[in-house]
């Protein structure tokens, strides 16, 4: 009888152990990049990666020159307050490491300038925290300013939107928890294999929503990831939205640290008879690794020249 119990117990463990091992291996594989020494050396050195891009921006049925700056940096973030922690050592379990993207876009339309900015806060360990925690997006031009913020909660994303347009006004509403177009950029930098492919539900970019005057909502898109046909060292990630026909293509390097080389965004720009299908293009210009928050003296303006930002 004891021998029979022993055999049953042995068979049970032989069956169950591979499942636990497989689950553990899956977790380790999903964390392999962010746990690597290369990742730590690059992203935890107390500096930010700053990249400037030359911009052709579609607006009012025309293309306008400008520039974009992408600032990537890791930070300690509060899970409950969804803000950067001033004293992470006192967080007592409320802290989470995030990769923050600040995207600054500036372009002129005739006499006046658009100044737009997004901030995206994506947890480094996406296997543990699979959704971006927060996105903010603002736009300023001579007509007025707008601001949109998405906060992740237990039900999805709470969206707060403020606009000077009467038809838009100030609103608060909820969206179901789906992938954000704004987080694709941070996902690329953290782990490109985490990018969703196929028919997906997605919340479009807040900045695109502003430029097209389209309210944020969950949409359907076809997503694909593949090698760039012109350069085997690069990858392309592409979105094609069903309803609007808008497309977004991001080109990035195949190997760590997965630098973003360029992107293109095609959509109907303008109003009425002046509306045209145009393509916004951004192409990498200069890269700087810097603790920019300490470079705030007049003499530090030379760093803007190094980034090709002379405007």
Helices (H), 50-139: none
How far is 219 from 267, CA to CA, in rounded Å? 15
**Does pTM surpass 0.85?**
yes
Percent of the chain with pLDDT over 70: 90
What's residue 98's pLDDT?
A: 98
pLDDT at 277 over 80: yes
Three-state SS at 272: helix
Q: For 143-186, write each residue's pLDDT tens digit.
A: 999 999 999 999 999 999 999 988 888 999 999 999 999 999 99
Provide the residue ranges of all domains of the chain, joining segments of one domain with +: 32-306
Q: pLDDT tens across 196-233, in order?
A: 999 999 999 999 999 998 999 999 999 999 999 999 99
Strand partners, 123: 98
Q: Residue 11, exposed/middle/buried by CB under 10 A (0-12, 13-18, 19+)?
A: exposed
| Separation between Cα atoms, residue 51 and residue 288, nearest integer Å | 6
Radius of gyration of the chain (CA): 22
129-146 tens-digit pLDDT: 999 999 999 999 999 999
Under 8 Å between Cβ of 71 and 292? yes
Confidence of residue 274 (pLDDT cuts 50, 70, 90): confident
The per-residue pLDDT for 19 is 32
Cis peptide before 18 (omega within 30 of 0): no
According to DSSP, the residues that pair with 68 across neighbouring strands are: 53, 105
Q: Best-predicted range by mean pLDDT among 32-36, 87-91, 281-285? A: 281-285
d(CA 162, CA 172): 9
Cβ(287)–Cβ(51) under 8 Å? yes
Straight-line distance from the first to the last Cα atom of the chain, in angstroms, rounded to the nearest whole number: 86
**Contact assessment for residue 157 and residue 204, using Cβ atoms and an 8 Å cutoff:** no
pLDDT score of 5 more than 80: no
pLDDT reported for residue 204: 98
Give the alpha-carbon dihedral of 264, 270, 276, 278, to 10 degrees: -10
For 11-15, 30-34, 249-253, 283-287, which range has the lowest pLDDT when averaged over its residues?
Answer: 11-15
Q: Burial of 81 by CB count in 10 Å (0-12 exposed, 13-18 middle, 19+ buried)?
A: exposed
């Amino acid at each position: 009888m004891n021998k029979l119990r022993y055999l049953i117990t042995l068979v049970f463990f032989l069956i169950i152990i591979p499942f636990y091992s497989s689950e553990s291996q899956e977790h380790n594989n999903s964390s392999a990049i962010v746990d690597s020494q290369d990742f730590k050396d690059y992203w935890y050195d107390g500096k930010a990666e700053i990249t400037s891009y030359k911009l052709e921006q579609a607006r009012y049925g025309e293309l306008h020159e400008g520039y974009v700056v992408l600032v990537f940096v890791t930070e300690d973030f509060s899970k409950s307050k969804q803000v950067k922690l001033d004293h992470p050592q006192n967080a007592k379990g409320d802290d989470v490491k995030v990769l923050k993207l600040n995207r600054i876009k500036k372009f002129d339309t005739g006499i006046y300038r658009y100044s737009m900015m997004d901030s995206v806060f994506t947890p480094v360990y996406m296997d543990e925290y699979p959704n971006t925690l927060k996105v903010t997006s603002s736009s300023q031009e001579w007509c007025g300013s707008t601001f949109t913020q998405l906060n992740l909660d237990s039900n999805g994303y709470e969206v707060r939107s403020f606009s000077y347009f009467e038809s838009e006004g100030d609103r608060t509403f909820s969206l179901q928890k789906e992938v954000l177009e704004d987080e694709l950029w941070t996902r690329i930098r953290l782990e490109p294999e985490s990018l969703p492919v196929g028919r997906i539900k997605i919340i479009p970019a807040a900045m695109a929503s502003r430029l097209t005057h389209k309210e944020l909502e969950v949409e359907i898109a076809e997503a694909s990831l593949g090698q760039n046909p012109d350069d085997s060292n690069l990858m392309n990630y592409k979105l094609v939205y069903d309803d609007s026909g808008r497309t977004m293509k991001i080109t990035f390097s195949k190997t760590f640290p997965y630098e973003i080389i360029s992107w293109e965004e095609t959509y109907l720009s303008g109003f009425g008879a002046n509306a045209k299908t145009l393509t916004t293009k951004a192409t990498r210009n200069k890269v700087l690794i810097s603790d920019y928050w300490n470079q705030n003296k007049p003499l530090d303006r030379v760093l803007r020249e190094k980034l090709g930002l002379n405007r």
